[in-house]
Structure 1
Amino acid sequence: MRVVIQRVSEASVVIENKVVAQIKQGLLVLVGIEDEDTLEDVNWLTSKIVNLRIFPDENDIMNFSVKESNGEIIVVSQFTLHAATKKGNRPSYIKAAKPDIAIPLYENFVKHMEIGLGKQIQTGQFGADMKVSLVNDGPVTIIIDTKNKE
């Protein structure tokens, strides 16, 4: 699994001109899933994200997690995170998991994020054409790949 985590002061997801997710301060998490990903990847990654200390304390030092700062989270599926661009100019998405593998892992990812955060999170819609808007706070952007966790 590969994620791009952005600390935001606000973010939203629009599908067919309808706002389906909207938050103020928190995280926008773009998640890409590969065929080899497992529930172990989901557990490790969701725990890492919820506890990642990237929110400022009273001295403006990144010491608080999204949970400690009472932030919100939007999760958006993003198969293009696994684009292979080595050959040619058209990205290949051969490493991205097909829906029969990706959807159950994505749903587990969302469920584990909610458990870790202790409240409901918002999401885009798997496979939909989404318009994602955000104000990156910092800017703070972190990329994590479960294939590089050791």
Structure 2
Amino acid sequence: MRAVIHRVKSANVKVEGKVVSEIKEGLCALIGLCQEDTESDLEFIVKKILDTPVFQSQNTLKSLAHENRDILCISQFTLYGKTVKGNKPDFHESMKTENARKMYNIFLDKLRTAYKREMVYDGVFGAMMDVSMQTDGILTLQFDSKKFEYL
């Protein structure tokens, strides 16, 4: 499982021109699932999102959980896209739609249970979404539940 998080001043997601979710200060998290993901991968990413210190507060960094900020999650199968052979993206590692929908909903439930249900927002799984965000500085992090190295 992968998550790319952005610290934001505001963010929203629109489907067919209508805002379906929006937040003020907090995190916008793009969430990708791969074929091998299990619930332990979901739990790992939930913990990383909630506990990683990314908000400046009185000269120290604080986590989402400490700062009581909103989070907007967007399902993003393209996080597992590869362009190793040629230029056409290959999404074979991405979890198939129906399994991904179930796992994504389990992820949201785990996040809402571990945090504050009313502060966790999301888009519309499988829809063509327009995501807008005003970043708060240039903080972007990638979390991956599988062991890998940055090259």
TM-score bucket (shorter structure): over 0.9
Aligned match of 1:79? 77
Question: Which structure 1 segments of 5+ residues have no match?
Answer: none
Distance in 2 of aligned mates of 1:36 and 1:28? 24
For the residue of structure 2 that corresponds to 1:13, the secondary structure is strand
Aligned match of 2:56? 56
Q: CA deviation digits over 1:88-143, x for unaligned, max 9?
A: 11101111010121111100111111112223211011110000000111110000
Percent of aligned pairs sharing the same letter: 38
Aligned match of 2:25? 25
RMSD of aligned Cα (Å): 1.3
For the residue of structure 2 that corresponds to 1:148, the secondary structure is coil
1:81 Cα deviation (Å)?
Answer: 0.4
Distance in 2 of aligned mates of 1:52 and 1:66? 7
Q: Residues 1-150 of structure 1: matches in 2 within 5 Å? A: 1-59=1-59, 61=60, 63-120=61-118, 121-148=120-147
Q: Aligned residue pairs: how many?
A: 148
1:149 Cα deviation (Å)?
Answer: 7.3
Q: TM-score, normalised by structure 1?
A: 0.94
Question: Which structure 2 segments of 5+ residues have no match?
Answer: none
1:148 Cα deviation (Å)?
Answer: 2.2
